[in-house]
Structure 1
């Protein structure tokens, strides 16, 4: 249950008038037991970019259906239709008690802003516009376990030093953002794909590690449409690359229990000198079905058409199919089974084409072992929302 504290007073030392406000403590604890086959190591220079021999893995994970997290969110009524807002949210490993996102206390989100009838402007660490736009059009809703989030929207989907606008106008929702320094770093995982990213905000280097994008959602009756764009300019060597993504998407609700959705994402990554590092097309389709009041299913199929990677077109196109079955014991507690099968890449479609970003971020390898062409994984877990 979310714990809400009401009636905080905005009172200065000289005795200013009180303003109505609220602060909410919330979170999710999600832990599961998982089996995965044919698991290798993330390729690096230390292992000569060789993922090694495949292994079967049995392990306990934090975050399967949702990433384990805790946070604070609050609002204050400033009068005249204006309000102050903030969110502080940190991810943690429920299996070990350690912090995620590189040990950041509030690594998932940390922002403050102002909102009115015209929209909301927030500043701080937050999700970029393409991530927010696709959220309602992706069947698994970015479920942590096997969702190829970093491949769909980029490993920079959370960005530091960001100014973001979000506005809702009837059936239309619009968002746009600018990051002065994204704060995402990708190591070298292939001889032909260099390390990228950094902290940004360096004097005299305005473009360094910046990012920007925008998105639009439009929902009318049972039909929804979306379009979004994202650009990240990561440091590569002594210059800045240009990583671009654009997507279109749609969904259709047959009734209150069944919905189908799908989309297409175009991607292009270039080095500072214009050399093409990656060109790919990504497609997804699937649906959500609520079988009973307590049971629902999610099915999602993903396909990546890798046209060029590191100057080569000799790359087998990865695909993955995933199924989630969820049973709600109560309003706040559920148990779930999630499974996935991938070809030509590891689960979450981790490969050199996304710099193995999911494996590196999760701390659990889904790298496909050397000489293997498929991977299967399954996990059963419990999730509690408070």
Structure 2
């Protein structure tokens, strides 16, 4: 009898210990078939910064509505309201089985930290910037991979290596701040007036080189949402660094089954000598509407006012309108149609002003061909969430 009681106590203790920690496997597999017209090549010094003759293309892609990914997230209860947390998130191309984010094993996110029930959390590793996180709930398309101009809105550095980040939620207010010791993002030269940007950072004797920091605060109370955020990246240029700055304000309001949202983002990029090589204002507006439990629509309009692009102060201003229709077949599987029309840039508003970051990241060119003014794309896809 005594042995039975001891065995039961040991089993209960083991079960309690296991209940205090957890690891969750999750992911998304998203594939679509896409048509795009007037596609050129990404400009570079090798092709004389000429995107060449345009062609239409029909292709299979990974990640139209959500980037294909799998990940592990875990927590352990440390007592006294503290938990240790971690996230490891891999991005992959479902159409080819290859890795995204430059071949990183966990290129989407990789961090570990401590979370307090009362004071927020501190995390260390590869993470999203404060600007990106703050804007996420205020863009209608929710940073949908295919046509959302995320690299224009938040910068090509919206994920950064070597980050220390704080996040705290206090009632309706969420505050976030981060510092990166070395961003790890690099953009090649795509315009003769814009330098090659970025590198590995963390160079001995050059603490500022390729570092970055930012902060944001959002307010969500009932139907109303408000946000404010700032981001600065000091990318490697040659053996020194430049300064890329962005600041944004945004708002949202829910009305019945719909939600309207919009915002403004200011941007200024300077090289290592202090010369301004990009100055722009970016605006977005749109909304989401749920027709039924299974069907919803998303509409987004984006406009970029280019004041200076590589010394050109009279560049045509890009704009884009995008529509997403999504239909849920179950809690885990949905089908979607996403379309976009862009003027004075490629889809996702890819241009020299964004360093063609979308084309380079996805490996599918959205560079507008020489002499063309507009581009249209449409994709039909299926997404499964697990």
Q: TM-score range by the shorter chain?
A: over 0.9
1:124 is aligned to: 125
Verify the 8 A CA contact 1:241 1:272 in the aligned structure 2: yes
3-state SS of paired residue (1:204): coil
How big is each residue's C-alpha offset from its partner over 1:26-69, in whole Å with a ceiling of 9 and x where there is no partner? 00000000000000000011111100000000000000000000
Give the whole-Å Cα distance in 2 for the aligned partners of 1:327 and 1:238: 51
Q: Counterparts of 1:286-301 in structure 2 under 5 Å? A: 286-301=286-301
Aligned to 1:38: 38
Name the structure 2 match of 1:210: 211
- In structure 2, the CA distance between the partners of 1:195 and 1:80, relative to structure 1 (3 Å rule), is same
Distance 1:18 1:335 in 2: 38
- 1:227 aligns with 228
Deviations 1:66-112 (A, max 9, x none): 00000000000000000000000010000000010111110000000
* Counterpart residue number, 2:349: 349
1:4 maps to none
Q: Within 5 A, what are the aligned runs for 1:147-166? A: 147-166=148-167
Q: Secondary structure at the match of 1:292?
A: coil
Identify the residue that residue 188 of structure 1 maps to in structure 2. Answer: 189
Q: Is 1:108 the counterpart of 2:114 in the alignment?
A: no
Instruction: Tell me the residue number matched to 2:3.
Output: none
Give, in whole Å, the separation in 1 of the partners of 2:18 and 2:322. Answer: 51
Count of aligned pairs: 372
Q: CA offset at residue 220 of structure 1?
A: 2.1
Conservation of the 8 A alpha-carbon contact between 1:28 and 1:67: yes
More helix by share: 2
Q: Distance in 2 between matches of 1:267 and 1:208?
A: 20
User: Would you say the 8 A contact 1:19–1:78 is kept in 2?
Assistant: no
Q: Which has the larger radius of gyration?
A: 2
Structure 2 unmatched ranges of 5 or more: 1-11
Indicate yes or no: 2:320 matched with 1:320: yes
Please list the CA deviations of residues 135-175 of structure 1 after superposition, one character each: whole Å capped at 9, or x if unmatched: 00000000001000000000000000000000000000000
1:199 matched to 2:200? The reply is: yes
Q: Which residue of 1 aligns with 2:99?
A: 99
Structure 1 distance, partners of 2:302, 2:317, is 11
How far has the Cα of 1:281 moved from its partner?
0.1
Distance in 2 (CA, whole Å) between partners of 1:291 and 1:177 is: 38
Task: Report if the CA contact (8 A) 1:174-1:216 is conserved.
Answer: yes
Tell me the distance in 2 between the aligned counterparts of 1:221 and 1:104.
39
2:4 equivalent in structure 1: none
Give 1:275's aligned residue.
275
Question: Separation in 1 of the partners of 2:310 and 2:32?
Answer: 36
Give the deviation of 1:10 after TM superposition.
12
The residue aligned with 1:6 is none
Query: Would the aligned equivalents of 1:10 and 1:19 in 2 still touch at CA under 8 Å?
Result: no
The within-5 A match list for 1:242-261 is 242-255=243-256, 257-261=257-261
1:366 aligns with 2:366: yes
Measured against aligned partners, the alpha-carbon deviations of 1:207-240 in whole angstroms (never above 9, x if no partner) come to 0100000000012221110000000000112211
RMSD: 1.3
> How far apart in 2 are the matches of 1:173 and 1:115?
14
Specify the alignment match of 1:66 in structure 2. 66
Structure 1 residue 205, shift from structure 2 partner: 0.7
**Structure 1 moving runs of 4+ over 4 Å:** none
Would the aligned equivalents of 1:39 and 1:369 in 2 still touch at CA under 8 Å?
Answer: yes
- CA offset at residue 19 of structure 1? 7.2
Partner-residue secondary structure (3-state), 1:192: coil
Asked if structure 2 preserves the Cα contact closer than 8 Å seen for 1:155 and 1:184, the reply is yes
Counterpart contact for 1:171–1:218, Cα < 8 Å: yes
Q: Which residue of 2 aligns with 1:133?
A: 134
Which residue does the alignment assign to 1:167?
168
- Looking at structure 2, the residues matched to 19 and 118 of structure 1 have their Cα atoms a distance apart, in angstroms, of 23
Cα separation, partners in 2 of 1:141 and 1:165, compared to 1, 3 Å: same
* Equivalent residue number for residue 339 of structure 1: 339
